[in-house]
């Protein structure tokens, strides 16, 4: 982005502080202000829990399973051979196939697109 680390830290701190102040105020003096029918705190909580966490988990398992590669995953799990990684093949199947499908089902259920 072309900005220094110090400046980026200051900007991030200011933005997070301002959002935090508004979240706090949405529990008291600003509780009547609604965005999509929710207070700011509730909206951010819903977004974090129901959207960002499942998406983050989904992209992590895709990255670990398909981008990082089996060799690198085995090195990480075994601490570069210090420990045995006996179940690496099972782990890779879980990370490549089962986990993404399970996370997608949970995500779609949270969005109300699937009913469980």
Chain segment 11-23, per-residue pLDDT in tens = 999 999 999 998 8
Which residue in the block uniquely carries the two structure tokens 């301002």?
18
pLDDT of residue 100: 97
* Angstrom distances, CA of residue 85 to CA of 19, 63, 82, 91, 92: 44, 19, 9, 9, 11
Helix and strand tally (H, E) in the chain?
6, 0
Domain range list for the chain:
1-33, 47-116
pLDDT of residue 40: 87
Give pTM, 2 decimals. 0.75
What mean pLDDT, rounded, does the chain reach? 91
pLDDT of residue 112: 87
Q: Is the pLDDT of residue 81 over 80?
A: no
């Amino acid at each position: 982005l072309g900005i220094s680390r110090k400046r980026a830290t200051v900007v991030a701190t200011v933005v997070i502080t301002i959002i935090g102040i508004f979240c706090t105020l949405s529990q008291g003096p600003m509780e009547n202000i609604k965005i999509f029918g929710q207070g700011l705190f509730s909206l951010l909580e819903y977004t974090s829990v129901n959207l960002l966490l499942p998406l983050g988990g989904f992209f992590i398992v895709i990255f670990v399973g398909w981008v990082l590669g089996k060799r690198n995953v085995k090195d990480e799990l075994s601490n570069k051979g210090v420990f045995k990684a006996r179940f690496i093949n099972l782990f890779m199947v879980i990370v490549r196939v089962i986990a993404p499908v399970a996370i997608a089902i949970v995500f779609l259920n949270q969005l109300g697109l699937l009913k469980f």
